[in-house]
A = this chain, B = another copy of it.
């Protein structure tokens, strides 16, 4: 398929934003069925069901809605959704050069089950392997993040990202000190020597500990945050709220929309796993299906370096403090 024209892409973007709003409202409507006590008869049956089953059903319903809308409007586009994919046998990376929608109907599922507001719908559109459009809507927070390559990244369609942009601040001179570091414990909790859990914890402690601690690896980050949503981690990195996000184990639908938004805002996304020669190896662009992600917020120049140089310096300072995580992927 030939490249999309500017006009086609803008049309797809407008469609995606509306789709995100509608899907987010579906999520919130289903959540609100569980609130309050005004309609005891109806609610009683809802609350007697297992909240997890209810959420699984919502997840499937919202994905079916999104897929149906996309298929009607763009029958030639490919569709990859979290629910559909997870039911299949293959764990291969399936995104090629053709225009592809990559969708998580509900990111932050645990949050949604517990009604913690950090959940969202995540709609990514990928062209030639590149995350080109991203729409993330967190309805409980009333926060809509959107971006299209060449059109800027936005909060609620009115505030351009990053929020502080006159000028965009440089990365802190002593990063990761001065940085907010976002990370996730995830679901992989095996207590074996050198398991991913222990590699993560060792990395977290290095980032947190005082300067001079941990045999020189102490990063003394300004704050450690865990939200339970990879998509929102990326969206808040695009906002400039988080300086660094480091994670392994999630999938392309968890990050496609967020990477589109962060990239358009001026952020950098590369691999979580430190390469050999971490101090000098090139900082390569992330592979969407790699399951290993390190994201740095948009950064402006300082008197001594460009924004990109500051971001790459921060990447290397993170790599110096984190362990390789053991996630892999056929085809990525």
Contact = CB atoms under 8 A, between A and B. Distances in A.
A165 B37 contact: yes
Nearest to A167: B47
A226 interface: yes
B163 A189 contact: no
- What is the oligomeric copy number? 2
Interface of A: 34-37, 40, 43-44, 47, 51, 110-111, 113-117, 141-143, 159-160, 163-167, 169, 180, 184-185, 189-191, 197, 201, 204-205, 208-210, 212-214, 218, 220, 222-228, 236, 239-243
15 contacts: A36-B159, A36-B160, A43-B166, A44-B166, A47-B164, A111-B223, A114-B180, A114-B241, A115-B164, A115-B239, A116-B225, A185-B223, A189-B209, A189-B213, A191-B209
Nearest to A37: B166
A212 B191 CA distance: 9
A224 B223 contact: no
Contacts of A43: 166
A14 to B, nearest CB: 23
A204 B184 CA distance: 13
B191 A218 contact: yes
Nearest to A143: B117
A216 to B, nearest CB: 11
Closest 4 pairs (CB-CB, A-B): A191-B213, A116-B241, A37-B166, A185-B224
A201 B205 contact: yes
Contacts of A191: 209-210, 212-214, 218
A200 to B, nearest CB: 10
A253 to B, nearest CB: 19
A248 to B, nearest CB: 15
Contacts of A185: 208, 223-224
Contact of A142 (B37, B40, B142): B142
A35 B154 CA distance: 12
Contacts of A226: 224-226
B114 A242 contact: yes
Nearest to A47: B166
Given A111-B180, A180-B228, A227-B227, 18 more contacts: A35-B164, A36-B165, A37-B160, A37-B165, A40-B166, A44-B166, A51-B169, A114-B223, A114-B240, A114-B242, A116-B236, A117-B241, A189-B208, A189-B210, A189-B213, A191-B210, A191-B213, A197-B205
Contact of A114 (B160, B189, B222): B222
A274 B224 CA distance: 25
From A40, A116, A201, A239, residue with most partner B Cβ within 10 Å: A116
